[in-house]
């Protein structure tokens, strides 16, 4: 059995298997919500997989509609998160000091690869609109948009108020130190790992209804949902959480309960095992 995760490895495996008399079963995992063209080549490629796994139900339904896949060939299995590693900090001030952050300040943060569709530019614009000296923005991650983000920070006059933490091997420590988590994506999301990690850390969240995000959070219950590419709405949601700690705490608590119950690593592994066994059984 072979599990593929991208277009490149899926094509290589499918073409190689087409030359074998007894090829291994293929399981194709698709993580993002970027549209797949329903052309003949893609229809052939996805039909080589015994099971197609998506990270959200919305992605599953889209693939079935675009590629004409049998409904029982595709299954939605969201990414599972380590519920021990990602947990609320025992003391927020201590968590901030451990990262050399000022415990007297409040920190809004995003943990994501620096790609355009993650919405960093809109988060910077929203942060500039807050105009509060007691709040800082932490951007954790690295990627192709770093230079553009640095340039935008200068244009908005935010130097000294935005922390570019870079690529980190300890994202849980940053999440535990944050007061608010934002993920203003406008494309390509399944159920984002960083969103689930923030939920498990009990953070109040502001995000967008992109991809399969709404399969993890609900507006007003476990997050505040704003339209994509809307810096004004994003700023308003952040301001609401800063002004209403009781609402922020309730959203964070609700988010943690949802993530703990539905998005654990153990649950994902059990579902993936079932998918692998089903693929091998239909070989």
**CA–CA dist 274, 191 (Å, integer):** 20
Mean pLDDT in each 10-residue stretch from start to end of the chain (283 residues)?
94 93 94 87 95 93 93 93 96 97 98 97 98 95 98 96 97 98 95 96 98 96 98 98 97 97 94 94 77
- The pLDDT of residue 48: 95
**CA–CA dist 46, 26 (Å, integer):** 10
Task: Give every CB contact of residue 75 below 8 A, 6+ residues apart in sequence.
Answer: 51, 52, 53, 54, 60, 271, 275
Closest CA relative to residue 140, chosen from 169, 97, 179, 102: 169
Task: Give every CB contact of residue 268 below 8 A, 6+ residues apart in sequence.
Answer: 77, 78, 79, 80
**CA–CA dist 271, 104 (Å, integer):** 43
| Neighbouring-strand partners of residue 140 | 111, 166
Rg of the chain on CA atoms, in Å? 20
**Over 96-114, what HEC string results?**
HHHCCCCCCCEEEEEECCC
Residue 86, classed as helix, strand or coil, is coil
Structure tokens given for 184: 């203003």
- The pLDDT of residue 33: 80
Q: Do 180 and 242 form a contact (C-beta atoms < 8 A)?
A: yes
- Write out the E strands in the chain: 2-4, 26-30, 51-54, 74-76, 106-111, 135-140, 162-166, 180-183, 205-207, 224-225
Task: Show the DSSP H helices in 167-244 as ranges.
Answer: 171-177, 193-200, 231-243
Q: Do 256 and 202 form a contact (C-beta atoms < 8 A)?
A: yes
Q: Do 194 and 119 form a contact (C-beta atoms < 8 A)?
A: no
| Neighbouring-strand partners of residue 29 | 53
- The pLDDT of residue 32: 82
- The pLDDT of residue 283: 65
CB 131: neighbour CB atoms within 10 A?
8
Structural domains present in the chain: 2-80+264-281 (3.40.50.2000), 92-262 (3.40.50.2000)
Distances (CA, A) of 148 to 63, 120, 145, 164, 228: 33, 10, 5, 12, 19
Burial level of 168, CB count in 10 A (0-12/13-18/19+)? middle
């Amino acid at each position: 059995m072979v599990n593929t995760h991208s277009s490149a490895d899926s094509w290589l495996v499918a073409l190689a298997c087409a030359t074998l008399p007894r090829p291994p079963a293929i399981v194709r995992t698709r993580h993002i919500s970027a549209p797949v063209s329903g052309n003949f080549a893609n229809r052939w490629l996805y039909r080589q997989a015994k099971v197609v796994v998506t990270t959200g139900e919305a992605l599953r339904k889209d693939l079935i509609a675009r590629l004409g896949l049998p409904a029982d060939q595709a299954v939605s299995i969201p990414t599972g998160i380590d519920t021990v590693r990602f947990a609320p900090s025992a003391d927020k001030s201590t968590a901030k000091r451990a990262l050399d952050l000022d415990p007297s300040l409040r920190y809004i943060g995003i943990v994501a690869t620096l790609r355009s569709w993650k919405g960093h530019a809109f988060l910077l614009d929203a942060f500039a609109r807050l105009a509060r000296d007691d709040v800082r923005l932490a951007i954790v991650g690295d990627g192709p948009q770093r230079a553009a983000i640095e340039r935008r920070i200068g244009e908005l006059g935010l130097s000294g108020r935005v922390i570019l933490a870079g690529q980190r091997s300890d994202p849980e420590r940053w999440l535990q130190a944050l007061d608010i988590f934002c993920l203003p994506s406008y494309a390509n999301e399944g159920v984002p790992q960083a969103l689930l990690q923030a939920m498990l850390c009990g953070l109040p969240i502001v995000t967008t209804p992109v991809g399969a995000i709404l399969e993890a959070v609900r507006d007003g219950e476990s997050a505040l949902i704003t339209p994509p590419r809307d810096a004004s709405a994003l700023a308003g949601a952040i301001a609401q959480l800063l002004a209403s700690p009781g609402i922020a705490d309730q959203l964070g608590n609700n988010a943690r309960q949802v993530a703990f119950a539905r998005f654990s690593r153990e649950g994902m592994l059990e579902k993936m095992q079932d998918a692998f066994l089903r693929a091998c059984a239909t070989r």
